[in-house]
Each structure stands twice: as structure tokens, then as C-alpha cells.
Structure 1
Amino acid sequence: MTDPTQDPRFLQDPYPVYAAMRSSCPVQSLPAESGGRAGYLVTGYAEAREALGDPRLSKDTAVFFADKASRRRLHSAVAHTMLASDPPRHTRLRKLVTKAFTAKAVAQLRPFIARLTEELLDQWPVGEQVDFVTGLAVPLPVVVICELLGVPEADRPDVRRWSGELFAAGRPDVIDAASHSMADYMTGLIAAKRLHPGDSLLDRLIAARDGAEQLSEEELVSLAVLLLVAGHETTTNFLGNAALALLRSPAELHRLEQNPDDVPAVLDELLRFDSPVSTATFRFTTEAVTLGGTDIPPGAPVWVALGAANRDPERFPSPDLLDLDRDASAHLGFGHGIHRCVGAPLAKAEAEIALRAVLTRFPGIRLAVPPDQLRWRHTRLVRGLASLPVLV
């Protein structure tokens, strides 16, 4: 069979494709791409949740690719991040960063996030067209994570560009080059911080490396890159997707404009409706696994389509309807299990503050172009808008 996710229309709206695949079989094989390997795609909710929590599905890419020749030149600090590891290494690395994203830590960041949001919205000309993505969804989480890590302001445009290039579907040369640019930059920033220490999260990770020897040098660089990229990519897509979902649902948008304090209660439904991470990162079977009635052999790549699982009618009735009264707390937008997004509390805080501010300051906001003219990022791993023109 052909891979339906390769259809150009898939980027615009993947959900009909996912629905057709799920109704046929919630776990099915996909053909190997050129130079790649055949694998399995999970589209059902129950099967996705099971796969995300199954220790027989490894994320250790170093093991998977150890005896496989590759023409790729992805930087090792990007190829072997915390996301691409299993316990006990994953447990040790995650423990070092979890404290930065606790409810208490995020609460301390809220005043900064609120001030930054207001400063960005101050630049929106009332009565004119604005790009929601470049005017808010991109700069807000980029500045927040850069502040958290101590990335100088002058370097942030380069960081954002490299991050975007890491998700360039079908462009391995671009991805590989960006991985080296990002890793080389973080290596230099770490060296500079060793000379002039501060109190950022990156400084604390350096202390863990240089003091207690809990991190190797490559692990330090790898964690820094991962936090920088994952710390804003998900939120950028979350903000854009949530705004579009509301703009295409006038009744729900009006409801929130009248009651902006309801925003925190509807974030899970917005995450479910159009997941900012379309497909979870790479996994492979370490032994034979039967999932959703499908037998998967050892050593097979498995991709879990979070966006598809979140639209499974077996778990969420009328899944293609945005329903702000729905209890969507079981969504898989941030993953599930030991690899669930460590930055989820920060992403939710940023989305809450940003959406509430937009709804309060710009009642009557609406799309400036027909939905079918919107441009989506050319990537299957994450789902996000390249731009979102709105009239304010």
C-alpha cells in the first residue's frame, strides 16, 4: 500500500486520512520510504496510549542505528537526546530538568510571561491585519525559553531559524546542517557561561556536569539543545492551532470573549482538537509485540500518531467537533507515560496567558483569509501554522 500521509493534502488537514486509516485498522504497516525502513503507524487512542507506555517500545536510537549504515550526518547531541533514550539514562536526565517546570517554578514565571505578552500585543495595530504566528505564537515561547536558559537576545533569531529547520520534512540535508549549527552554538554558550556563570537553568545544568558529574559533556549539550527546541516548538504550534480552532468556531470564540476566565478550563480540549505534536518521536520494538490486533516483529519502527488518537471517536465522541464543555483531560497532546512532555505546565501557562490577553484586548478578532488558504509547516512530526493572518 502507499503511504497516505505523503499526500500533499495531508498537511492541510490530516484528520480524514487518519480517520480512514483508523477505521481500517488502528495499527497498520507503512511502506519503507526511499532509503528508509518499513514501520507501523498507530492511529487508535487505546492503542496509542498502550504503545506510549509499553517498555518494549524503545526510544534508544543509538541502539537501533548502531549496526545500520547511514548517510545522515545528524549531530550526536541532537540524535541522542533525552527523548531518544530509555531508563535508567532517561530517568537520570529527566530528573535534572523536571524541577524547572514544576507548578511552583512556572508560577514564578507567570508575571514575566504576562508582561511579554502585553508588550507583543501592544505592537498589534487595531483595525488592521496581523500575523498571529509571527506576532505572538513564535516570539512569546522563544523569548520565555531563551530567558530561562540564558540565551542572549541577539542570538535568538538564529536559534529560532535552526529550530524550525530541524523539522524540515523531506530535507535531511537541512535538518543535519541545523543540528550542527544548534549544537555548535550551545557548545559555545556553555563555554561562555563557564567563564561568566549566571543563575539560568543552563547554568544549573553546567553545575551538575562540573560538580556532581551527573552529566557527560555531550549530555549537557544535548539537554541544552532539547530544552531550547522543545521548549518553544510545542507552544508555538499550540497557540496557533488553538487560535485557529476558535476562529473557525464562532460560538465557542464568542463564549470565551464573554468569559475569558474560562480559558484555563478549555486548554485540554484545544490540545485534543488539533494536537501541536502530530506524531510522537521514534520508537522501535525490542521484541515481538501485538498491538491493536496487529503483530509487530522485533526491530520494527513504530510511530504513534497523537493527533489521530485524539480524534478517535471510541474515546472522544464527535471528535471533529470543538466542544469546550468536553472533559478532554485524557488527551495525548503531550504524550503519555515516562516520556510525557516535561514542559507541559509551562506550555499551558503560556497558552492560557496569551489566549486570555488576546480575547480580552481584541474582541471581534477574525480570520483575514479563508481557511483553505492558510499555510501549514511542511513537517509530519509537529503540526503548526506557518502563518495565521487575522483582523483585529
Structure 2
Amino acid sequence: MDHLPSSDALPGIRGLTSVSSKPLLTRDFDVHPTATYEGLRAAHGPVAPVDLLGVPCWLVLGYAEVLEVLRNDARVWSKRLADWRAYTQGTVPADWPPLPAFRAGGVAFTEGREHSELRAAWSAALRPFQDRSQDPARRLEAELRRHADELIALLGERGTTGRADLADEYARPLMLMAINRLAGFGEADEDVLLDIRRLLDGGPQAAEASGRLMDLCGRTCAARRSAPGEDFPSYLIAAWPDCTDEQAAAMTHLLGKLGDLTVTLVCATVVEVLSEEAAGALAGGMVRETVNRAAMVHPPYANLTFRFALADTVLGGTVIAAGDPVMLSVAAAHADPSFAGAHDPASVFSSRAHLAWGAGAHQCPGGALATTLATIAVERLQERMAWLEPALPPDRLPWRSSVFVRGLRSLPVRYGLREPSPAPPSRPSAEPSEVVEPASQGTLRRLVRVLRRTGR
């Protein structure tokens, strides 16, 4: 990366104000973003000017360039909102849709010592669940398998064959239950779980849902100070005793994003499972490898939130002025011929050099946990399904309209269930006993019903 003198000394460097940009979010982008990225790459090279909902930014398309920015140690690139020139000058519209997420701050929008301390606390709180040798991780995985089997059993109530939306009837309720468990909210309540969904959708109900969840996170974190449990808030407070309840609540709040990434990854993996390319890995029982392949082909975070140039610099042959925002396109980087052309799509093994979880100081600390949860979800489907096929061709699958997250709104499939293994014989009781439905299955049944009724 080349550094240049200050733009004040070089009047020709005017940043984004010196170039024209076209809207990124168009109908074509919603339907086929890859074509949009390739059109921008052909016209501009690895860095292209775009208009994001009325705000100009640089979209970084090249694999090498995306990795270069991600690996930066904040000498040139910053995630602090205060380093965005247009924002500090007041030219970013107050109602710009992504602005509330940027203003929320937290570990994702800090740098330096503050970021290191927040990330260390976040990582320490997740470690008991990511380290599969620890009891909390084993118990979480066991619960997830049980919930997965309960959801598949609900499908089986219709018969051994049928149609289903594996997004709203499997992946979303399953991961909402996992996030509820991690956050330590106690007995799962579908209203709480739906608030997590509303927050992740980012629609008109997101602000109110976020407020309710922040309040719940705050009350949960306050309670854990005197009565720690086996959950993220308890481990966070243990790792960061000086944090306020508000700080702990904000960190716990981030679990919702991790859940959204995992839902997206589960659905993308099922799409891979249904493709011929993944057949080799599945034949070898390598579900985790298929999850990794899905993260590479359909990265959950297609485009990352802004970085801001701290000094005039050159990236991929393009002059970036101090204060200009850049948005790193992981999806475009994975399609860059310099990266995609180096990997055999027929290979059972997929590249570990993908950027689905980022890289450098801001690499997603929950990537390993998301991969494990997604692997379990797909393994249970593979175990319980005799056959599974798409109900729509790949080019007709409904994707979410979002610049940051590329995930399916629904995943319609046709399926055939394997016959369940016979239960061991039990001794007859003297008194007839009433069959008691597990509490989690009752919650899941209601949650699936609401998710289907309020589908995206």
C-alpha cells in the first residue's frame, strides 16, 4: 500500500467527491449480485465507487485488496465513526438506514487498546462454548441436537414425506433456541426469540425489538453478578469484572448477530448439500467440510461494514482520500479470479483461505462456534432424512435484500424421513400415564407456527 502526502497538499485528490458513482442496491443486485460485482470489476478494477443508499463509498472487490485492508493494524484503516469525514462534516443523512448499527459502537466499531480489551472479554466469554473439550460446549451441542430432532419430529407429524421451508421450520427456530441458551435468558419465550428475529431483520420493528432485548440483556447481566450461570453473560462478567451492566448487555446483544450468521450458514450449507459439487465431501461424511465450502461460496456477511482511511493512500491502483469510507466485499473477493481460479470446484476439500469470517484484528471471534452449530444442524438433517431435494431451482430461491448479509428468506424443499429407530420396550405401569410433551418442543411448535405466519 502506498501512502501519499496530505490531500491538502495535493488538490487533485478529492476522494469520492471527484468521481461519479452508481447505486449499488438495484433490482439486478438483489437478484444476481455476482453479476453486479463482475460489472464493477470490469469497469473499475479491484476498487469501485458506488452509491450505498445515498452515501458514496468505495467498494473493494479484489481478494488481495480486501485482505490487505483486513490485516491492517489501524495505521491506515479505522472502524471508528469519528474517522469518517462525511459523518463528522454532517453530510450523512440522519435517516441513512445503516447508521443506527454504526452508531451503536461496541467491539465491532472500536480500535486500539479499547478494541483489544473488548475483544479479549468477548473471546473469553465465548471460549467455554467454542472449546469442544469443555463441559458447557458439550452441553450446548447436546441441547442443539435434541432441539434439531424435535424440529424434525414436528415435520414427521405430517407423514414420512412432505414439503417444508427449512429456513423458518428448522434453521431459524433452532438457532434462536441456541442464542436464547447462550444469552442465559432462561426458559425460552417465543416473544423473546421473535424479538431476536425482528432485530436481525432490520425492518420497522427492529428498533423496538432492540430496546426490549437490551433491557432483557441488562437485567440478565445484573442478575448474573450475584448468581452466575453457565451462559455468556456470566463468563463475560468473570472475564471483565469492571464492566457495567450496560456494557455487558451491549456485548450480550451481539449474540443475535452470531445467530443470524449461523442461520444463513445452515441454509447455505443445505443448498450446497443439494448440489453435485458437495457430493464428494458428503459421501465421506465430511459435513464440516461442506459447511466450510458453503461459507466460501455464500459468505454470510457478503459485504462488511465500513472502514475509513486515516491518511491518503492507494489501494488497488485507486487513490483513497483520508476520511473516505471503504466497504469490503467478501463475496466479490471470493469470486476474484486470482482466488477462485486457484481452487478446484470438484475437490472434496475447500480452501481455508476464504474471508467469510474476516481476518486480522476484527476477525469474527464466533466463527468457530457458528461453524460447529451449523455442522450439527446439517448432520441431524443428513441423519434423519432419507432423501432431500429442492422445491425450487437455484435461480428462483428468494434471497434477502440486504447489502451486508446474503441469506435466504426461505428454503423450500421436498423430503422423505427415515423411519425412526424403535424405542426400547418399557414396563407397563399400574396407572395410565399422561404423555407430557417436552417444554422445548412446545416452545418450538409455537415458534415455528409464528415464524411461518410472519415469514419474511
In which range does the TM-score fall when normalised by the shorter chain? 0.7 to 0.9
Residue 385 (structure 1) aligned to one of 408, 419, 422:
408
In the alignment, what sits opposite 1:221? 249
Aligned residues: 379
How far did 1:285 drift?
1.1
Judge which range, 93-102 or 41-50, deviates more: 93-102
Alignment pair present for 1:52 and 2:86: no
In the alignment, what sits opposite 1:41? 59
Q: Within 5 Å, which residues of 2 pair with 1:182-261?
A: 182-194=213-225, 196-207=227-238, 212-213=241-242, 215-226=243-254, 228-247=255-274, 249=275, 251-256=276-281, 258-259=283-284, 261=285
Q: Within 5 Å, which residues of 2 pair with 1:85-124?
A: 85-99=110-124, 100-101=126-127, 102-104=130-132, 105=134, 107-108=137-138, 109-124=140-155
Checking the alignment, whether the CA contact within 8 Å between 1:256 and 1:359 is kept in structure 2 is no
How far did 1:302 drift?
0.9
In the alignment, what sits opposite 2:25? 6
Q: What CA distance in whole angstroms lies between the structure 2 residues aligned with 1:127 and 1:76?
A: 42
Residue 338 (structure 2) aligned to one of 314, 336, 350:
314
In the alignment, what sits opposite 1:329? 352
AA at the equivalent of 1:27: V
Checking the alignment, whether the CA contact within 8 Å between 1:167 and 1:379 is kept in structure 2 is no
How far did 1:136 drift?
2.0
With normalisation by structure 2, the TM-score equals: 0.75
CA RMSD of aligned residues (A): 2.8
Q: What CA distance in whole angstroms lies between the structure 2 residues aligned with 1:206 and 1:239?
A: 30
AA at the equivalent of 1:263: V
How far did 1:38 drift?
1.7
Checking the alignment, whether the CA contact within 8 Å between 2:273 and 2:290 is kept in structure 1 is no
Q: What CA distance in whole angstroms lies between the structure 2 residues aligned with 1:159 and 1:322?
A: 38
SS at match of 2:402: coil
**Aligned in 2, Cα 1:387/1:345: closer, same or farther, shift over 3 Å?**
same
Unaligned stretches of 5+ residues in structure 2 = 1-19, 416-456
Q: What CA distance in whole angstroms lies between the structure 2 residues aligned with 1:62 and 1:163?
A: 30
Tell me the alpha carbon deviations over residues 12-62 of structure 1, each in whole angstroms, 9 at most, x when there is no partner.
32111112222331111123643xx32100111111111112222111125
**Aligned in 2, Cα 1:389/1:157: closer, same or farther, shift over 3 Å?**
farther
Residue 272 (structure 1) aligned to one of 269, 275, 296:
296
Judge which range, 123-132 or 102-111, deviates more: 102-111
Q: What CA distance in whole angstroms lies between the structure 2 residues aligned with 1:294 and 1:31?
A: 17
SS at match of 2:296: helix
How far did 1:345 drift?
1.0
Q: What CA distance in whole angstroms lies between the structure 2 residues aligned with 1:159 and 1:287?
A: 43
**Aligned in 2, Cα 1:198/1:291: closer, same or farther, shift over 3 Å?**
same
Unaligned stretches of 5+ residues in structure 1 = none
Q: What CA distance in whole angstroms lies between the structure 1 residues aligned with 2:405 and 2:102?
A: 20
Tell me the alpha carbon deviations over residues 202-223 of structure 1, each in whole angstroms, 9 at most, x when there is no partner.
12324555xx31x244322211
SS at match of 2:155: coil
SS at match of 1:6: coil
Q: Name which one, 1 or 2, has greater alpha-carbon Rg.
A: 2
AA at the equivalent of 1:225: H
Checking the alignment, whether the CA contact within 8 Å between 2:24 and 2:50 is kept in structure 1 is no
**Aligned in 2, Cα 1:159/1:288: closer, same or farther, shift over 3 Å?**
farther
AA at the equivalent of 2:372: A
**Aligned in 2, Cα 1:306/1:90: closer, same or farther, shift over 3 Å?**
same
Identity %: 28
Q: What CA distance in whole angstroms lies between the structure 2 residues aligned with 1:263 and 1:271?
A: 13
